[in-house]
Structure 1
Amino acid sequence: MPEETAIDKLRKRLYRKGEEFKERDDTPGLKYYRKHAPEEWLGDIPEEKKAPNKPEPKKWGAYLLIIGLVVFAFAAIGFAVWYLFIGGTSSTKNISFFIEGQSSVVGGDLVKWDVVIINNAKVPIEFSEVAFDYPEGSKPFDSGSVKVISGTLRARIELGEISPGETKRQSFQAFVFGEKETFTKARALLEYRLDGSNVILAKAAEFELAITRSPIVVSVKAPDAINAGDEFNIEIEAISQSKDIIHNVVLEIEYPHGFTFKDSSPPVPGEKNNRWDIGDLAPNDRYLVRITGSVTGEEIEEKTFKVFAGVLKNDQLMVYGSEVAFVNIVKQFLEVKFKSNLGDGRVVSTNDIVYLDIFWKNNLPVGVENASLKIFITGKGVDERTITPEKGFYIGVEKAAVWIATSYPQFSFLEPGESGQVRVRFKVPESFQIRGQDDFNFNIQMEGIFSAPRNPAGYEEVNIAGSASLDLKVATDLQLARRGIYNYAIMPGTGPLPPKVGQETVYTVIWSLVNTTNNAANIRVVSKLPPYVSWKNRTLPHDANITYNEETREVVWFLNILQAGTGTIRPATEAQFQIGLIPSVIDVGKNPILMSEVQASGLDEYAQVIVSDTEPALTTDIRSDPQFFYGMGAVKP
């Protein structure tokens, strides 16, 4: 029997129940190598039984080479970054770059920033340039090097070489604008190249500053409480606190829901009636807007009016100042309302008669005894002698029209919900005495109070009185006078007088303007010359804005402003010019027209209405000439 080998013993153990094996002590030393047999060994094997050729294994050496090169490149870049920004003596770490300046400013102040560069490296900075971005909305003091880059004001300054250990400063100044309690930032970028390098390096810095006060202060005056639907006024004032002119200022108001705009002073352009183009505001300049309107809403509802002042940037308002006003809608227990014969108007003229209707109503759920109604009428624009209350009486000491139970029996007891109407009328003076600077901008103020001496039971601690007010402005009286003169030493006429057929007679025309109580702006005086009259191009005073249009034959005299009191406490304003007449045979025995009807118009700056006056056409019958006699105007053959 053959000897049992170790393999045989192992095979028996593999099938023996409960047999255990220890782990192998050593890893096998033999390794498997794949090797192809030579192709000539396949010579006698049929083609169809030959195994297909397998692809050659990949050449990993080329791939390993490429990977090695990439690793080396990254290592080189990492070393460069480390050298330049962390560890090298010439790295950006050794270049200090920062901005110095005020941490807080008043809006509109001139602010200075110092951009500081310190070269702590061992090599010089061969080239350096600073780009400085001004804060949003600022106005650079020196705009010569400033350009607008993507909406940002940026200045670039070349600083040149900076030696090792050297410090360089570059200053930038601007007027900074912005709303109160906001923050803004200045930014700077340093671009530089170290000596012996072609690499452009960069460092950035920024500086935040707080605006502690607005460059434009906005104030809003509005009533604390109103009746729903009643008209009321809002007064807005914008004041510049800037140390420099603020250009293209805009004032904007955001109305609450239910508000109905009526008018404003000055007038507002556009459909929304909420934006005024103020223009330029110099330091301490003020701009006043007065808005009249009404608002609807529920009782005890609060309405918010938001006002902003600033400048437009890309059609967006950059706010420099703002304010908010709150108006509460209430219902008066003893309600009183005004309505005048002026309708919605708030302007009267000299010699006008005003009828004021006063509507009253008891809104309490209980009756009221011995009610009284007082309408105080004050202001220089009313002729006190003409104040006439219907069914009431006037108390001169109080300057009030009064209705009480003795003269108006309905007030002896008012039922809940009871209402009625009374009227007072008065006249505006035909003229005003102008003695000095205080005799301008006349108005009429009416204040009504509807009350009772004792509150009804249950309302003892409540103010049941109602009130209403109405202000009227008196428009200025713009007066125009025109006259023709021949015998005038300053600008004498020439040619025959009386005028003769075929010969030119030159006349001097004088226009005079008088303005009584309010300043008037943009005054325009216009007339036309007939075809047979020529413009001589001689005017006085020499700086007068008098023009003649050959095509339309219009003569226009324009004035930017005509002060109140012109013609009373100061001389009337005059313009003089000459025209020439060459009559024809059809004019014989007639007084030809020298100029058509003359019209003068302008804007009353106080009342915000157009005022005007007209004079009839001027003929050769120049009776205003002191040496002129009857018949000297008729044309002779």
Structure 2
Amino acid sequence: MRQGPQINEYSVTPVLGDQLESGATVKRFFFNKYWVFSLVAIVVVAVALWFLLGGNGKDEAKLVLWFDIADQITSGSQSEVTLIYENQGKLALEELELEVIYPEGFQFIDSSHSHEDYSGQRFLLPSLSPGSSGTLTITGIFSASPQESKTIRARLFYQLPRSTAVFSESAEAQLSFKAPNFNLRVLAPNQLIDSQGIEYQIFFKNISDKKLQNLEVRLSFPNGFIYDSSSIPTETKNTWLIEDLEVGQEERLIVRGTLSGEEAENKVLRADLGIVEQENFEVLARASASTRISAAPLEVKQNLKSENPKSVSMGERLSYKISYKNTGSRGLNNIKISVFFEGEGVDFSSVQTSGGALVGNEVLWNPSGRSELTILQPGEEGFVDLNIQVPKSLAEKNLQNPMIKTRIFISSNEFPEPIAGGTLDVKVASKMNVDAGMRIVDGANPPKKEEATIYEVSFDVSSGFNELSNVIWTAVLTSPPGEFDFDSISQELVKDINYNPASGRIVWKIGNLSFFEKKQIKFNVKFFPSVADSNKTIKLVKDIKITAKDEFTEETITSESVNDLITVPVN
């Protein structure tokens, strides 16, 4: 029987069918996995963009800012403008940068925050947490015609946490102006070497239509300014009385001193012109000027060679070491150094120095006396010495709180204006004076063995030219043969006296002594010598000492040794 062709179970058809089924499954698997990874990637990118761009955080951020300014501003007078900004949202505000746009004619002077540019238009401000606020006060001069209106604008940029997006809020204020009654100007050098002399000129003119009386000029000096003198007398060194100022009259006040500070630091002097009514000072005009500090090319310092450089006693010698150095980058010629002495606590006849000369109350050094001062190369330094004595008779001058004050200066041909090296104040300590006495007022005279003699003991304690506090007098009574008579003390001193019979120690708490004040104590001692004391003198009151606090020097002082009180020989 003829058979047809045999078809195997494992023929192509069923095998091909299995292969297609398996391939489709693999293809679907990779297709689905691709979409899963794609979806995850899209979500990740979306989340990242949400964080980077702040998401909807802007809806939760709320920054408000506004100006606080006077209703009317005096044209040409110094004024203050305050900008207030507050975070009223739920998120912190970071990277705050403020931009201020001033109207035409505005002159920037200063601000309560450091500014990033010279014109005071850009400020970097600290971050604001939710609910917190900040202020920025700007000081300057607006110039405008009366009744004119101008606009000041501000824009505050910020970012949200974990965001690079920058947002901003804006504010503006209208400024109204009024005509001034005064023209007030302050002139000061734009730049000054550290610790150099400075001269301020304050001009004020009455441009109103009436005479003005009892005006005051008040100056607020910058830190580092030391007052020296002024063209108009003053008692306070910062306030000047102007009794009358006629219509159109202009006056000038000149104030001189020294100014020190850090390099590149701006020092601002503010001048207020006003009137005092019922003890209140009303500012009518305000102006200011700024001076920038530059590094000194010459440096001079003074030090005392003493264990206690803050105070000195009468008769003591003071040894000064004056050091100098060229801190610049070029050689300087003909160096001059000077030390000015102020106060009456100096005996100029006792001045000792090498190569220096005394001229009045000033000691000078220059190349004629010290050849090393002819030229001073960059970085080169040296020193000179000075020795002077405090008069022993200083107390006789009836001074109060005497002080020895020295000011030092240095200059050169290239920098002829003297550069100050600071001041050094040395207080003169007070000296207590003690007068002691003892006399027989009753009993055997001269003393006899086994008989009583009554001695009256007296002490006078006086202060010098400084006030003293916590003054305490102590002594020891030789007992026996002495016996302290407590009843002999005056009634007003009883509470201040303490006596210990066992040790013989007497304490008198004097308390306070004013300038050149004297206090006295008197008491009796019953002296009953024994046979063994015959032909002897007895130290009846000994170890006498007084201590006190000098209120001027704020140091504890002790009286000089006081002689023991000795009896006459016992018969």
**Which structure has the larger Rg over C-alpha atoms?**
1
TM-score (normalizing by structure 1): 0.42
TM-score (normalizing by structure 2): 0.47
